[in-house]
Structure 1
Amino acid sequence: MLTWPVARSPAARLNSIVSTAASETPVRGSPGPGSMSESAARRGMAVAAPVGVALFLFLGGLMGACAGTVAAIGLFVAVRRREPAEVRRRRERMGADLPFAVDLIVACLRAGQPMSGAVETTAVAIAGPVGERLSWVGAQMRLGAPPEEAWAALSDEPALGALARTMIRAAQSGAPVADVLTRLADDARRTAQATASAAARRVGVHAVAPLGLCFLPAFVFLGIVPMVAGLAGQILLP
């Protein structure tokens, strides 16, 4: 019995192509959740196992076994929950590129380009992780996907979630997209400035500890040792 294949929309065909390509050829520099969790598990085991064994050998007996087990489990969980440096750098770059990307989308829209063309032009100009996601959204809209569905894929991303939700609301309400995006770009720029200021303050705080360690020996020998020696002389001498 012969049956005709079920027709699929362009957006569904694009989703299948993207998922197939991602499963066959992983993107360099953007590991999937599975690989990141496996890498975190390996790092946790590499740190937790030696510490647990060292505590067991140092304390010995039941106390050493309990202390080693608790320490190993705690270190394993802490290392697994820690954000990898690559993921942190990628997130920080996306947050820094977002205001420029939104400004470019606004400029393209005011120049007369459609939304899909504006998003794809911005993706080529920005590149990086933001460009990858905008390129995917622009391709979906160019192939006929509704803007709400195309942007919904980015609504859960920490860096691009605000942009995606703004575009969804603008598409549903019919509000002028350029004006809404201009306000979003201003908010993203203020957020990026606040993040940079906080990072600069953290650098200053972290620099105090090494300086304190450098001055600590001089403080001990010049301030504490003479005082202790003087008190000891007064107490011990008849």
Structure 2
Amino acid sequence: MTGQIATAAACGVVLGCGFWLLLIRLPFMRPTTFVERIGPQLKSHNLESRLLRAVPRNFTPFGPLERILRPVIGDAVLWLGRLNPGSSALKRRLARAGTVKSPADFRAEQLLWGAAGFVAAVGAVVLFGASGRFSPLLAVVLVIGSAAGGFMLRDYLLGARIRKREARMMAEFPSVAELMALAVSAGESATGALDRVCRSARGELSKDFTHVLAETRAGKPLVEALQEFSSRTELGPLLRFVDGLVVAVERGTPLADVLRAQAQDARDTAKRELMESAGKKEIGMMIPVVFGVLPLTVVFAVFPGLAAISMGL
């Protein structure tokens, strides 16, 4: 009986992994990247027939299976890159999260979370064994899965912190840009406008600008400090803002106009994202309406007639 349970558990795991792969590869589960959005507009018109193009060559003898699994392998390579203890990508992610931890400290935390999951799984296995419901295969899967889950959960929480922090930064960005534009219009220099923003504003973006201002006061050129700030973020509007600020400082172009244009661009981007989010929510609201409200409405409309027919009225 134990062998049958183990075989059933293994088949269930394989079936669950298959359904999970099918789910995450659906079009609405994979976010559209910026490159995919602008690709059709930047693509040059090629009049060559598709039948004459060279077929992508396979590097393994698996044929179509390789093309099917290629996206999964690419995602696996990206995930394995996160496990590198000295990864520069991890250092950038920690900077984006606004933490002062080093990559080694973060990896140590991940190991502690994995050890905690391992200890919790071992305790659960011991309890199951004491109650007489012990399965070796299930115990091994539970222990290994809990340790790996604890290790990856810490990485997921870091990503969630980055998303929340960047969302707050984008919410603060238009106001900060307009405040800098007002300061520059009043006669302040770029450094003076940064100082005024850091003294007046409160938030994640003002903290980063405080760091830039501190580096400038320590002797680093403003352009270099701004470029280092842009290397610590991946937000498109902020990158364009910093690039415009750098160009205005280097070439002497009107800084106030550049800042106002960047603030308006940020507000337009926020409106566009809000409209996209509203469109997605509207589609999601159709699920409870179709499967919840509509059947109840039909029941309330049809039931009195069926009751009258059954009573012979």
Q: CA deviation at 1:165?
A: 2.7
Q: C-alpha separation between the residues in 1 aligned to 2:187 and 2:142?
A: 66
1:189: which partner in 2? 267
- 1:105 touches 1:122 (CA, 8 Å); kept in 2? yes
- Structure 2 CA distance, aligned partners of 1:91 and 1:48? 33
**Amino acid paired to 2:221:** P
Partner of 1:150: 225
Question: CA RMSD for the aligned pairs?
Answer: 4.0
Instruction: State the match for 2:31 in structure 1.
Output: none
Taking the TM superposition and a 5 Å limit, the aligned residue runs for 1:125-164 are: 125-142=200-217, 144-156=219-231, 157-159=233-235, 160-164=238-242
Number of matched pairs: 191
CA displacement at 1:112 relative to structure 2:
0.8
* Aligned-partner residue type, residue 229 of structure 2: L
Does residue 1:109 correspond to 2:184, yes or no? yes
Deviations along 1:108-159, one digit per CA (max 9) or x if unpaired, are: 1111111111111122222212112223323444565322112122112234
Structure 2 SS opposite 1:33: coil
Match of 2:145 in 1: 71
1:32 aligns with 100
What TM-score comes out, normalization by structure 1 length? Answer: 0.59
Where 1:112 maps in the other structure, the secondary structure is coil
Q: Which has the higher contact order (CA 8 A, sep 6+)?
A: 1
- Counterpart residue number, 2:246: 168
The answer on whether the counterparts of 2:184 and 2:256 sit within 8 Å (CA) in structure 1 is yes
Structure 1 pair 202/82, CA: closer, same or farther in 2 (3 Å)?
Answer: farther
User: In the superposition, relative to structure 1, how do residues 128 and 73 fare at CA in structure 2: closer, same or farther (>3 Å)?
Assistant: same
Q: Which residue of 1 aligns with 2:197?
A: 122
Which SS does the other structure have where 2:230 is aligned? coil
Alpha-carbon contact 1:119-1:134 (below 8 Å) kept: yes
Rounded to whole Å, the distance in 1 between the matches of 2:278 and 2:285 is 11
1:108–1:78 distance in 2 versus 1, CA, 3 Å: same
Q: Separation in 2 of the partners of 1:103 and 1:143? A: 26
In the TM superposition, residue 95 of structure 1 has moved relative to its aligned partner by 0.7
| Partner Cα separation in structure 2 for residue 54 and residue 205 of structure 1 | 41
Runs of at least 5 residues in structure 2 that lack an aligned partner in the other structure: 1-96, 300-313
The equivalent position to 1:82 in structure 2, one of 135, 144, 156, is: 156
- Kindly tell me: are residues 163 and 42 of structure 1, through their superposed partners in 2, closer, same or farther at Cα, counting changes over 3 Å? farther
* Contact 1:166 1:180 survives alignment (8 Å): yes
Code of the aligned partner of 1:133? D
